[in-house]
Structure 1
C-alpha cells in the first residue's frame, strides 16, 4: 500500500504475480487476480475518484487478492478483495472502525474510503471489497516472504516503538471482540484460565473449524503439546488487560522511510487479523513472526536475538512492561500462535481443500512451533529472555 512503484507488475502480465506460501512462491494462486474491469466498476461507486489509469502491482500475500491502482489524477489506491466466506462487510466494518480510531489518535494508518452509500466494505456476488488510500512510505519488504527477519536491528527497534504507539492509541478503544470468523489472531482460548472447555466451546461455535479438526486427534494433541505451556500462562492472565491489537505485526505490514539500516516505520498496514487480545499477545506475535526464521530449513531455524532485544527496547522506550507482563510474554510466546494456526487449518481444509496447506498448518505450525519451544533452541530463547530481564533489573 505505497506510492513506490519501482517494482510494478503491469496488469497485462498477470502470470508475473506469484503468491507467497509457507513453501516459497507458487504461480497458481489460491484466489484469482483482480482484473482491470473489476477495479473500474468498483471505483465508479466512489465519489470524486478519477478514472483508472493502470493496475501497478498485484500483492503476493495469501488469503485475499489485492492491487495497487493508479488513477488518471496521479493518485494511488489499495484495492483488496476477500471471498465472502472469509470476510463479510460486517466483519470488515469491525476492522475499519479500529483503523479509524487509531488514525484519530495520530497513528499513521491508511484511510479507508467510503462509497457513495457510506459503505467502507462492498459485497458483490461472492466477494467483499475495500479501498484504502495509498499510505506514504516505502514498501521495503515488498519482495520478502511474510514472517522473515528484519533487515537490520534498527528496523526492529522502530517496529517495537511503533507497536507501543499503537497500543497506547488503542487504550481507550472499548469495542467488543470481533464476531467469530476465519483467520483472526484470537485470544479467546489461550486467554482463558480453563483451556479445555474454552477450546471446545470456541471450536463448536465455528462449524467449518469443527469439520476440519474432526479429521485430526486435536483434543489429544492440544492436551499434549499446548496445555503444559498454557498451565504456566494461566496464573499470569489476571495481569493482562484486554486491548484491541494489530494481530499480525511483521515487517511487510509496515511502510518505511527507506530500506537502509536506520530506516523508521512510516505507516502501519493490514489490520485484517486484528481483534481484542492484549498488549503482550501482540508483542509475542511480533517476536514469533519476525525474529525466528521458521521458513528456513528446520536445522537452520535461526533466532535473531539482536532483533528481539531491539524490538523490546523500542517497545519499552514508550510502554515499559511490568514484571508480570514480561513473565506473561515469556509464558505466552510458545503458544501465542495456537488459535490462528487452528483457523489456518480451517482455511486450508474447509475453504480451499488444500491438503498440503492443512499439513503445514496443523503439523508444521500448530504443533511444530510449540514443539520447537519445548526443545533446546526454544528453551534457550526463553532462558535468554529471562536472563535479559534480570540484567535489566540489576542495571
Structure 2
C-alpha cells in the first residue's frame, strides 16, 4: 500500500486488526509520523511531512512516497556539499529512495570522521583493587572495604583512555540502523559495515541519548551527529528482533528541504550578510505598552533570517502539497514574522508543483516589506541555487 507525503488513508477494522489503544503504542504513532483517528468504518491515518515505511503488521506495510521523487537525495547532497556546479536533475528511476539516501549520506560523513580513527577520551573510572593505580579514595576504602575486613583492597579512582564515548556510541547506533536501511545497496552498506568495525570499541546501545557537545567540537562532526540523530530518531530499534520482517523507518522531508534552502542562502547571500535561523533570535511577536498587562509569550520563528547593511530578509521553507499555491495561513504567518523582525523582504520557498520554477511577487505590506513566493524544483540543485541567489542578492540592493 502506498501514499504520498501529507496523504490520508482510510482503513477498515478488518485491515488493521488492532484497537485504537494498540495502534497508539506503535512507534510511528508515538513519534507522530502519522496520526490515527477512529472513523465510522475503521481508522483514518493522516501522514505528515515524512517519507519511508510504517508497519501496522506484516501484512499491512504502508510506503510513504516523496511528494517530488528525488527530493531527499538532491537536498541532502546540497546540505553536505553546497551548490553543485553542473545541472543536477533527478532522472526517473535513478534516485535513491529517501531512507537509503539519508543512510548513504550519513555513511560518507561518518567515514570521513573516522579517517584518522575513532575519537578517544579519558573516562573517570572507580574500582576496588589490590594494586594502587591513580588516586586512592581513603574514605571509601575505610568505610566500604576495611570496615568489612577487606584489608587487601583499596578504593581507587583513575582515568582510562577509552573509545567507549558518548559520541562513538551514538555513531555506532546510527551505523547499525543505516546498515539495515542500505541492505539493497551493497557499496554504501560495505562502507557502513567498515565504520562499525572501527567503532567496535564503543558499547552498542539500543536507544542512546544525543551526546552533550562541547563548544570546541568541529562543524563537520556536529553535522555528522545531526545526520545520525535523523537516522536514530527515524528508525525504531525493534527492527533488529524482527529478522527479515519489515520495520518502520522514516525521514522528515520538511527538515531536509529546509536545511537545503538554508545551505543555499548561506552560499548565495552577499558576503557581508549573516544567515541564521529565526528561533535562535528569540524575537517576541507581542509587546505591551506602559500600564498594560503582560503580553502573550509567543516568539517569531521563521526558518531563515538574513541580515546585513541595515536590511533584513526572512524565508520560510514550506514543503507542502499546495506547492506555490500557498495558503492564507502560510501568508499570514510569514507577515507576522516579518512584522516582528521589521523585515524589508520575506518569502515562502515551496516546490513548484503547478508550473515552472520562478519568483512571484505577492505584494507589499503597509511597512513596505515585499512578500514573495519562490517556487523551486527540489531535485534541480542549480535552479534552486539561482532562484534563491537572485532573491538574496536583491535584498542587498
TM-score using structure 1 length? 0.29
Bigger Rg, structure 1 or 2: 2
Give 1 or 2: higher helix fraction.
Answer: 1
Normalising by structure 2, we get a TM-score of 0.29
